[in-house]
Chains A and B, each alone.
Chain A
Amino acid sequence: MTTTEQDIDKKLIPILEGVSDPEIPVLSIMDMGVVRSAVIKDNTVKVQITPTYSGCPAMDVIGDDIKAALKEAEYNSEIELILHPAWTTDWITPRGRKALEEYGIAAPLDAEADKDVLLNGKRIVKCTNCGSQNTRLVSQFGSTACKAQFQCEDCQEPFDYFKCLK
């Protein structure tokens, strides 16, 4: 359910794809879906980003990293933090989901399945280590606000699950 189209200048895409989420370095901010628009006007790039969670401490760093990357490409930039429409996990691209899994973070399920997992203890989140679905919710809050803690009952590996946010 993408509520708005992203308005991103094609020339800027490779630059922005080079900026990664400081807390999940394998994931570019483009794959994360936090860049909502980036347009060039008189050699200044106006970038709008939206936080995954209100208190996400990564946002300031992401803003600085975007500025630095654009500066390297000889653009001035202005970063604006927008709250509306609110970020949803649906904005993570398929490539981003794959990167998350490979990094050891289970990608978000759809809203219904997510509820089953977090509320009813249903075992459907796949272990990122061995692929087993015999996994247990340890805590609804993980290493960052956007994740929950899981443990695989087969290989015993603890891992994070990216909570569905709609």
Chain B
Amino acid sequence: MSIDRDEIEISLKARCEAIRKVSIEVNMKNENLYNYILGIADNSLILGQRMGELCGHGPTLETDIACTNISLDLFGQVRSYFQYASKIAGDGRTEDDIAMLRKEREYINVLLVEQPNTDFAYTMARQFLFDVYHLAFLVELQKSADLTLSAIASKSIKEVSYHERFSSDWVKRLGDGTEESNTKMQEAIDALWTYTDELFHQTEADKAMVAEGIGVDVTKLKDSYYRHVSELLEEATLQVPESKYFQKGGKEGIHTEHLGYMLAELQYMQRTYPNMEW
């Protein structure tokens, strides 16, 4: 049997090509999954930081503790997501690096969660508008083909149900309270409404993960979200905003001016004392 060197070379080349293709596919899949996890985690990280800002500044001791408890829940969830993201990245980046050492444009949270704690009505309106989405999202994420994500969702859902109950109660209490509390809550809802539509925008990573049966198709959550939110606002004797003008950009890393200031505080320790751990 004679050996044809050319034939061997061709077959080797074909094999290398096939391996290269598979590895690109794996990388692409991992990159999408990585970005997908970040998209979920960044929302909780930034909202958790906002709620944490109320530590020692809540309107009463009980609400102060409640807000910081919510913050703690969110940070706990974030840790699970980032630990997983760190495993997927597989390049030595730790959960701390991912959480603390990205630049503003690399955070892909929605604009809603980075809005400041203007007053307690804003804080609760923001929480409520996010919680209703968050809960519906986690219910779907529980069905994910990715077992880690579905486990984190099952765990988080129990905590987020409490958040949603808490923020809904406050929207009702302030909306259906005094004239002043109603005015303030209405103002907060009107101001934050413009950031709600972005919750239902799909990124490239979203689309890829939905196709894999891993991600949640957020577009399908939109109708029931607005239905639920509207019902609750009516119960709270508040007007459902009619504006159809919505802001977007957070999911692509284009943020409102508030995020930069917040990151400066969030990242201060990590930047000043590199390699600190949580």
Mark A residues whose CB is within 8 Å of B.
Answer: 51, 53-57, 82-87, 118-119, 138-145, 149, 163, 165-166
The verdict on A54 contacting B66 (CB below 8 Å), with A83-B80, A145-B73 known, is no
Q: Which residue of the partner chain, among B63, B65, B73, contacts A54 with CB atoms under 8 Å?
A: B73
Mark B residues whose CB is within 8 Å of A.
Answer: 62-63, 65-66, 69-70, 72-77, 79-80, 147-148, 150-152, 154-156, 158-159, 162, 165-166
Query: How long is the Cα–Cα vector from A94 to B72 in the complex, in angstroms?
Result: 28
**Set of chain B residues within 8 Å of A53, measured between Cβ atoms:** 72-73, 76, 159
If A55-B76, A139-B62, A149-B65 are given as contacts, then 9 extra A-B residue pairs at C-beta distance below 8 Å, sorted by A number, are A54-B77, A55-B75, A87-B155, A139-B63, A141-B65, A142-B65, A143-B65, A145-B73, A165-B158
Query: How long is the Cα–Cα vector from A118 to B165 in the complex, in angstroms?
Result: 9
Query: How long is the Cα–Cα vector from A145 to B162 in the complex, in angstroms?
Result: 10
The verdict on A83 contacting B76 (CB below 8 Å), with A118-B165, A145-B69 known, is no
The verdict on A83 contacting B69 (CB below 8 Å), with A51-B76, A118-B165 known, is no
Least Cβ–Cβ distance between B250 and chain A, in angstroms? 23
Least Cβ–Cβ distance between A61 and chain B, in angstroms? 14
Query: How long is the Cα–Cα vector from A142 to B156 in the complex, in angstroms?
Result: 18
Q: Are B73 and A55 in contact (CB under 8 A)?
A: yes
Give me the 7 closest cross-chain CB pairs, A-B, nearest first: A55-B76, A54-B76, A84-B151, A139-B62, A141-B66, A55-B72, A141-B69
Query: How long is the Cα–Cα vector from A4 to B158 in the complex, in angstroms?
Result: 19
